[in-house]
Structure 1
Amino acid sequence: MTWFWWTKIFTAMLSPLLWSIAILTVGLRVRKKSTWPIVLAGLILCVFSNPWLFIQVESHWSAKLDTSEWGMPATQGKPIVLLGGMTAIDPDGNLVFQRSSDRLWQALEGYDPEEGPVLLISGGAADGPGEAGLIRDYLTRRGWEGNCLFTETTSTTTYENALFSRALFEVQGWSKDIVLLSSGFHLPRAIRCFEKQGFQVTPIATDPLYFKGSRPMVMKWLPDAEVVMGWHALLKEWAGLAIYQVRGYL
């Protein structure tokens, strides 16, 4: 089993829901009359399903969602690098866009297929067809093909996104002063990876983990299953950051 799959297994275990189930299972098998597994599992779920707490943490960590920068001097004319991780292939071979596909729709706001700037979609697959190529084919079928659309279809990690993008930029002679699009919670690691490879990065964040729109205060305290999923994504990102730091990718 490759390092890629070991890290996937490890990060899959960083789920508050999985922790709660494991605690209940172990506790009930070891001491059937004890109440501590129920209390501890309930406490974990209460903490990691609280919208207000998650909003505070995610707001401090994630890059701010602000797509108004398109057309401003900070982004105008710069090559756009769009990171993958937004699609899946169903059992019938169909391309399925997932939640993080907001990255793609936001990238198209700043891209013209004929006039540019360069749009590089970076993302491969551990097995099967490369994601970037599938997205390119999707855009081509809808008339978005152009001389400024490029793909990097080999990378399977954020580190490889940056490494293989650098190689392509050097071959093409493009400026390494880029606009980088990814999910807001993922950008802190992605920015450091690309800067490590010699890029100057203007980030644009997409798809926040939890919608922070106006809602009654009571709704911010009621348990929400979406928050549990958000914590899983955030914990995986922090683990990835620690692993990259140890391996010298940042």
Structure 2
Amino acid sequence: MFFILSKTLHFLLMPFLWVLALLLGALFLRSAQKKRICLVAVLVILVVLSTPFLSNEAWRAWEVAAVPIRTIGHYDAAVILTGVTSYREDIPDRINTSRGSDRFLHPLQLYRAHKIDKFIITGGHGKVLGGGVPEADQIEKVLLMAGIPAEAIITESNSRNTHENALNTASLLQQHPGINRLLLVTSAFHMRRAAGCFAKAGVAATSFSTDFYSKPRQFTPDELIIPSVDAFGSWHLLIHEISGYLVYKVLGYC
């Protein structure tokens, strides 16, 4: 039930849906004052959320900062949170990745640098209806193709959200008492929630953020004045993540 509710919340927090609802209000409401309020609200949302500089500032404030690789010590394993692959029935003969593949590419870099010994991949499939190939299994295949030995990869493929990632990883670690020093790897925007969940589950791990949406500040016309569809679209993910973090806090998950 919680999984379905989270998917519903993801839809309702879409700024495009807000704009559409307000435009419908301006079209069908009888009151001229309410029509103006709806139109002004649409204008404010479009201007604010499509300004790249404001979007970047929001991302910079929320994302957990990067840790230089040179400062990373040695860890027994990197815990990789999934959410960056998808299974397509029409092209099942390959691994399909989306933005966020740094979640497993950066740990691969750390492995080659002898900073981690193993990979713990946690995550099932994210479909509300039907089944699919667990994402942990898909990332495992990528690592195997990259030459990582099978004995260096541990997978957990039942989790469907961050809360379950933490609980199932904690249970998995009980079967591997030799794994103590952990590096938690996920996207920078997701690290607050992930780190909180793992700490709540009793799993001590050092955060290692990847997949950054923020960038250095630029005071240029294209950042300050010119509207951007990409900036507008990125707010959906950020609003969803902040809302998810707050819900997890209320529920005591993190």
Task: Describe the shift of the 1:174–1:42 C-alpha distance in structure 2 as closer, same or farther (beyond 3 A).
Answer: farther
1:1-250 correspondence runs (5 A): 2-31=1-30, 34-66=35-67, 68-69=68-69, 72=71, 74-92=72-90, 93=92, 94-112=94-112, 117-125=117-125, 126=127, 127-210=131-214, 212-213=215-216, 217-221=220-224, 222-250=226-254
User: RMSD of the alignment, in Å?
Assistant: 2.3
SS at match of 2:13: coil
- TM-score with structure 2 setting the length: 0.87
**Residue 95 (structure 1) shift:** 2.9
- Give the conservation status (yes or no) of the 8 Å contact 2:189–2:212: yes
Distance 2:133 2:106 in 1: 24
**Residue 81 (structure 1) shift:** 0.3
Task: Describe the shift of the 1:153–1:173 C-alpha distance in structure 2 as closer, same or farther (beyond 3 A).
Answer: same
- TM-score with structure 1 setting the length: 0.89
Distance 1:238 1:200 in 2: 23
- Give the conservation status (yes or no) of the 8 Å contact 2:73–2:115: no
SS at match of 1:118: strand
* Aligned residues with identical type, % of pairs: 29
Give the aligned length.
245
SS at match of 1:78: strand
| Amino acid of the structure 2 residue aligned with 1:21 | L
- Give the conservation status (yes or no) of the 8 Å contact 1:23–1:41: yes
- Give the conservation status (yes or no) of the 8 Å contact 2:181–2:205: yes
Distance 2:109 2:146 in 1: 15
Distance 1:161 1:75 in 2: 24
**Residue 129 (structure 1) shift:** 1.8
Unaligned runs of 5+ in 2: none
Task: Describe the shift of the 1:98–1:86 C-alpha distance in structure 2 as closer, same or farther (beyond 3 A).
Answer: same
| Amino acid of the structure 2 residue aligned with 1:217 | T
Distance 2:154 2:80 in 1: 10
Task: Describe the shift of the 1:5–1:75 C-alpha distance in structure 2 as closer, same or farther (beyond 3 A).
Answer: farther
Distance 1:83 1:46 in 2: 34
**Residue 121 (structure 1) shift:** 0.9
**Residue 47 (structure 1) shift:** 0.7
112-121 or 99-108: which moved more? 112-121
1:4-51 CA-to-partner distances (Å, cap 9, x unmatched) read 012111122112121111110122122496444333212101111111
- Give the conservation status (yes or no) of the 8 Å contact 1:113–1:144: no
**Residue 138 (structure 1) shift:** 2.8
**Residue 170 (structure 1) shift:** 0.9
**Residue 112 (structure 1) shift:** 4.5
